[in-house]
A and B are shown apart, each in its own frame.
Chain A
Amino acid sequence: MTHAGGGNGDKRRRARRLAALVPLLSRPSSAVGALLVAVFLLFAIFGPWIAPYSATQQIRLHARQGPSATHFFGTDHLGRDVFSRVVLGTRSVVGLAGLGTALAVVAGTLVGLASGYRGGWLDEVVMRLFDSLLAIPALLLALLFLGALGPTRTGVALVLLVVYMPIVARVVRAQVLATKPKAFVEMARLQGESLPRILLREILPSALPALSVEAALRFSYAIFLVASLGFLGVGVGPPSPNWGLMVSEARHYATLTPWALFFPAGAIALLVVGVNLTADGLKQALLEPGRVRGRPNLATRAPVEPAEGLSPEDKALLSVRKLTVEYRQDGRWSGAVRDVSFDVQAGEVCAVVGESGSGKSTLALALLRHLSPNGRTRSGVAELAGDDVLRLPASALQELRGRRVALVPQDPQVSLNPSLRIGEQMAEQIRVHQGRGRKDAHKRVLGLLGDVDIVEPARVAASYPHQLSGGMQQRVMLAMALSADPELLILDEPTTGLDVTTQAVVLDLLRKVIARRRAAALYITHNLGVVAQIAGRVVVLYAGELVEEAPVAELYERPLHPYTLGLMASVPRLGEAGREVALAAIPGRIPALGAHADACVFAPRCPLAVEVCRTRRPELEVADDGRRVRCVRWQEICAGEAVPRWPAEEASDVLRAERRPVLEVRGVHKHFGRRRRLFSPGGRLRAVDGVDLRVDAGQTVGLVGESGSGKSTLARAVAGLEIADAGDLALLGEGLPRSLSRRQRDQLSALQMVFQNPDEALNPYLTVGEALARPLVRLRGHARGRATQESLELLELVRLPQGYAERRPQELSGGERQRVALARAFAAHPRLIMLDEPTSSLDVSVQASLLNLLQALQRSEGGAYLFISHDLAVVGHLADVVAVMYRGRLMELGPTSEVFAPPYHPYTEALLASVPLADPKATQAQVRLADVHVEGDPGAGCPFVARCPRKLGEVCETEAPPWRLTEGEGGILCHIPLAELRELQPPVFRFSGRRHYGGDG
């Protein structure tokens, strides 16, 4: 980058900072506040030139005069000009309050940073001291100190420091605690950044918005306090023009010279109000930018434009016709769902599939008439058994919701009221809709809970949501949705937050319940495996448009739309190693809301697009078998004449993994106490409980397990982000200290990590180029110029344009951010990269391109991966060796093909049986694990005993299971002899794998 480029960046940065202030001035209240503050600042600076008289000049002849042209605010009992005194007093109040606040902010920031980052006993002691200090009311503390120190200006400033420092420190500390665990900070630590740099460059910027709001608030309180002290006669003495003191003096003459009282009092009031209004504006601008205000849109306020009615032969339970839903963004309405029509029959499960931004959730909320305040239904019809839901009057909505249409939301944990018992929450719906009495409703609650296979309905009904596991919570949500026997059930990603084993159980239950009730179900999901397992028909949405609709078997057998083809080809499938089959990746990204001209929405990303696709919107055409597709070339695709070529990395064998270990882990333990504190005992969680693992050069080791299995903790212990309690680590054959701070620079370089959440992957206050240059400077010892140059090469390495160096993370998509994080990890020339669920929050098509990139980089750059994922198909796709973890222990270890074939550990078997296969024709064994919460010490027996479907008997509970070596390199931790485990049938039957979804290009 040239010097001019840097200047340009500075300019952009400055412009951005100024832009942040626009919302501050656009609200009338904060504009008034800022104006008031500005006036008083002028007084404070130019007071002596503005004031016509001096503060102490007594004009005997003019004493006790009312406001006039010579004395704007009149004169006081001694004949002093009140206006001059008010103006001149500004400096002392503003200056003193400002100085005190500044001291408190600086000291508080330093203490907050140190205390929050360091944590432990230091933090505990500091926070307890501050608690004690805050127990003394500020004014009392001020009076005590000034009483002791004597009333000096320094005293007042010191008092402000002491009183406000703890408050500022707490705010900063809270920000540090929120920022410290973010991926970009941990990455900086792994790259050996110095402590001051981490605190000041990585963490402090994230704390600045909250800090500036707090500083403004403190300033206002400081003015308040300084004025109050003046009034009480502490801190300043007459005749100096302190406003509080002026009020105090003048009040004895309140009836004679009321103006001498009002004007200084008014000045205090105006200044404090001004600062408060400004602080409030700052808060809205900095801490809550772009928040949509207003309560949920209960009724559709905008008139729904009429659409063609339905002909009487449409006898589907739910008929949606030409539905268009819009959101207002930056003052424009743009369509999030456009012109969508489909039917759902009673007893049918219709899946709505799409990636993020496809409009699938908006569609659901529109049917429930519950769009966010900036949304509206523009046109269309949605008839539920003959009634147009979109045109129901607001008064009829209560009858519609919960009674005729019920929603099972994505995240049961936050969708249940935390402070009401389950039974109460369920009964209230029953009582509203069915008018039953309290007792009757309770009986029905128990029945419903039984219907969703809850074993102890009474106990669950008496529980609060937080006492139940995620699977149980989702069952409760389902029971609640079923309580009024709705005609339509909308399921919005109901299993997305659950572990794969629990997901399988909930899917079984959903299938059973829907079949029994003959309700129509609209199942919204992004997961093609789940769709294949549950749906009868599928609607594929892309960027708000319906692009294809078909019965599930036909859709998977022969997709007709290029987008559907792309989706199918981008899903990793169980049993397909990435060495043999490359994933397709759809290039580009989903268009922004409202960015549609007269063209096919998918054209910019479509490998089959022709001229007409870019000039005309394709019609939704009906194929012979009643399937619908919105593509001009569907017939060619159907006939196999047009086959999309997706950009994919070449699928070829990697350089053979050498049998030289990069990483050796022996007997690593990491237990977490629930922090033991004064007066409270700790508990223990064995996150990692004695793990041995080896990663060879050029190899990918996959680490799988449910949430809480300890896989992330293991990686973090290896990285040194957590310090292992026991065990040995070796990197490239040499001992690796457990603590990060004791590792050498070359050890830091050799071991890097990429984290899960793309939103936290990069420091939002650094450009991509700056973030990439750091490890080059720090770990490779490059000079700045060379680092800048090489950071461009790194961008190229992860297939991003060089122009991205100037961008900020906010301008990148999730997939792009993960690419930059990967580039940052590769900057150090690592020998091993640990990847902690790097693709799990990405859409499948984006995941595919990142997985392809990972393989390509391993080939070109060398190096080994430790890849952590909960997704067996992804791990199977990428890994040479798979390690299965459960409650901190390795259950099974071995080459991928062996782990996915008998002999199985019973846990591995259950995991494989639970994976929703992206093939409607595949069948699986019914091996299910109970979704029980297992906590506490596992004792001497097998850690899996509580959930094991193949438990032998007593021995599993009392004796530690042996590590049985398998033929390959691996082993299985189980009491059951290998011979018996070898007899187990593979849990995945008849799986047909990838078909004609397109080749790679």
Chain B
Amino acid sequence: MGRYLVRRLGFLVLTVLFTSMLVFAVTRFLPGDVARIVLGREAGEAALERFREQLGLLDPAPVQYGRWLGGFVVGDWGTSYSTGGEIRPLVMARLGNSLRLAGLTLVIAVPLGILLGVVAGLYEGRSADAAISVGTLAVVGLPEFVTGLALVHVFAHVLGVLPASSAIRPGTPFFEALPALVLPALTATFVMLGYVARLTRAQVVEELRRPYVRTAVLKGLSWRRVVLRHVLRNALLPTVTVVAISFGWLIGGIIVIENVFNYPGLGRLLLFAIDRRDFPLLTAISMVVVLGVLLANLAADLLYAWLNPRIRLD
């Protein structure tokens, strides 16, 4: 286990380094003069030059990258061009909000998706499977803003039971914020549900075909026992990975959803940063998102390896 962990962590560090270079390169070295963008068209050449010098934009690229990376690692994420405030507390507060939304979504979508997938897989080719499969296929295809706006229309405009906007104040306790969270979480659930259900179904169908299932049936076990003890045990193992992969998927969706509902999470902050060309902020948000995805993947791999006796952990 130890060696596996070391190897896995080694890859994680390499991946973070690579993505950080990519993110940094995209935000800093692609066309566009940061100073001009930040200070505006009217700024004089001297002011621009002072700005560049202040931010170290004249240094060679590797130096800039090294300085930024060093800062990022020790927690000094710099100040925002647009608000002038410290970036880290801002990002962390928004991250908390986004995690709330993501957590709520996972809690609803994963068990429900697995349930639907298992049912569809066990009844492959019958009406229950057809209904679930076509249903999930349709939902998987709907962009978040379409489902989100449809839900707003029904629940906020027609029924009037839930707020259309989820713009909560910073520091609102979880249960007070809950009504505002329901619609965004439901939207995200729609997207994830189909994803989880379809992958689970595929796993169940595949496991059902394996010869050990026949062995179990011919041992004289009840079908119920065959499914619960033999089929699901093997079919749900990869689902662990599915959940982790879908986390990255969920984050993409949440960026859009937060903008549909005006929910103050990382996604809205990201768009704000892009809009204002606030590169330090943009880089910080991107790195936080990437770290989140990578840690989720790592957790899934470790869990999978721990659950699966076939993987030798040496």
Interface presence of A416 (CB below 8 A): yes
The answer to whether B214 and A224 touch across the interface, beta carbons within 8 angstroms, is no
Which B positions have Cβ atoms within 8 angstroms of A? 3, 6-7, 10-11, 14-15, 18-19, 22-23, 26-27, 30-32, 122, 124-126, 130, 133-134, 137-138, 140-146, 149-150, 152-153, 157, 208, 210-223, 225, 229-230, 233-234, 237, 248-249, 251-253, 255-256, 259, 270-271, 274, 277, 282, 286, 289-290, 293-294, 297, 308-310
Measured between beta carbons, the chain A residues less than 8 angstroms from B32 are: 148, 150
What are 28 A-to-B residue pairs whose CB atoms are below 8 Å? A29-B130, A128-B15, A136-B23, A137-B293, A139-B253, A139-B256, A144-B282, A147-B274, A148-B32, A149-B30, A228-B256, A232-B259, A244-B143, A272-B141, A275-B141, A293-B125, A294-B124, A296-B217, A370-B214, A399-B220, A401-B220, A402-B218, A402-B219, A417-B212, A418-B309, A419-B234, A420-B229, A429-B219
Measured between beta carbons, the chain A residues less than 8 angstroms from B229 are: 420, 428
A-B pairs with lowest CB-CB distance, top 9: A402-B220, A679-B7, A272-B141, A293-B125, A148-B30, A139-B252, A137-B252, A402-B219, A401-B220
Measured between beta carbons, the chain B residues less than 8 angstroms from A432 are: 219-221, 225
- Among A137, A232, A244, A407, the one with the most B-chain Cβ atoms within 10 Å of its Cβ is A137
**CB under 8 Å from chain B, chain A span 887-933:** none
**CB under 8 Å from chain B, chain A span 98-157:** 128-129, 131-140, 143-145, 147-150
Closest to B123 in A: A295
Bound-state Cα–Cα, A972 to B154, Å: 86
The answer to whether A137 and B248 touch across the interface, beta carbons within 8 angstroms, is yes
Bound-state Cα–Cα, A627 to B198, Å: 57
The answer to whether B149 and A251 touch across the interface, beta carbons within 8 angstroms, is yes
Which A positions have Cβ atoms within 8 angstroms of B? 29, 128-129, 131-140, 143-145, 147-150, 220, 224, 227-228, 231-232, 234, 244, 247-248, 251, 254-255, 258, 261, 265, 268-269, 272-273, 275-277, 280, 293-296, 298, 368, 370, 397-403, 406-407, 409, 411, 414-420, 428-429, 432-433, 464, 466, 477, 480, 484, 678-680
Measured between beta carbons, the chain A residues less than 8 angstroms from B216 are: 417
Other A-B contacts than A137-B249, A265-B146, A477-B215, 10 sampled, CB-CB below 8 A, are A128-B14, A132-B22, A137-B251, A140-B252, A147-B282, A231-B143, A265-B149, A402-B218, A402-B219, A680-B3
The answer to whether B149 and A419 touch across the interface, beta carbons within 8 angstroms, is no
Measured between beta carbons, the chain A residues less than 8 angstroms from B26 are: 144-145, 148
Measured between beta carbons, the chain B residues less than 8 angstroms from A679 are: 3, 6-7, 10-11
The answer to whether A144 and B23 touch across the interface, beta carbons within 8 angstroms, is yes
The answer to whether A272 and B142 touch across the interface, beta carbons within 8 angstroms, is yes
Closest to A274 in B: B141
The answer to whether B143 and A227 touch across the interface, beta carbons within 8 angstroms, is yes
The answer to whether A247 and B124 touch across the interface, beta carbons within 8 angstroms, is no
Measured between beta carbons, the chain A residues less than 8 angstroms from B309 are: 418-419, 464, 466
Measured between beta carbons, the chain B residues less than 8 angstroms from A370 are: 214, 217-218
Measured between beta carbons, the chain B residues less than 8 angstroms from A397 are: 220
Closest to B152 in A: A254
Closest to A277 in B: B137
A288 to chain B, nearest CB (A): 10
B97 to chain A, nearest CB (A): 17
The answer to whether B308 and A419 touch across the interface, beta carbons within 8 angstroms, is yes
B292 to chain A, nearest CB (A): 9
The answer to whether A232 and B149 touch across the interface, beta carbons within 8 angstroms, is no
- Residues A140 and B255 in contact in the complex (CB < 8 Å), given A132-B15, A273-B137, A370-B214: yes
The answer to whether A138 and B252 touch across the interface, beta carbons within 8 angstroms, is yes
- Residues A255 and B230 in contact in the complex (CB < 8 Å), given A144-B23, A401-B217: no
Measured between beta carbons, the chain A residues less than 8 angstroms from B130 are: 29
Closest to B136 in A: A276
In-complex Cβ contact of B220 among A296, A400, A466 (8 A) = A400
Measured between beta carbons, the chain B residues less than 8 angstroms from A678 are: 7, 10-11
Bound-state Cα–Cα, A678 to B157, Å: 57
Closest to A131 in B: B15
Bound-state Cα–Cα, A415 to B213, Å: 8
The answer to whether A224 and B141 touch across the interface, beta carbons within 8 angstroms, is yes
Measured between beta carbons, the chain B residues less than 8 angstroms from A132 are: 14-15, 18-19, 22
Closest to B134 in A: A29
Measured between beta carbons, the chain A residues less than 8 angstroms from B124 are: 293-295
Measured between beta carbons, the chain B residues less than 8 angstroms from A254 are: 149, 152-153, 157
The answer to whether A466 and B218 touch across the interface, beta carbons within 8 angstroms, is no
A263 to chain B, nearest CB (A): 12
The answer to whether B208 and A295 touch across the interface, beta carbons within 8 angstroms, is yes
Measured between beta carbons, the chain B residues less than 8 angstroms from A232 are: 255-256, 259, 271
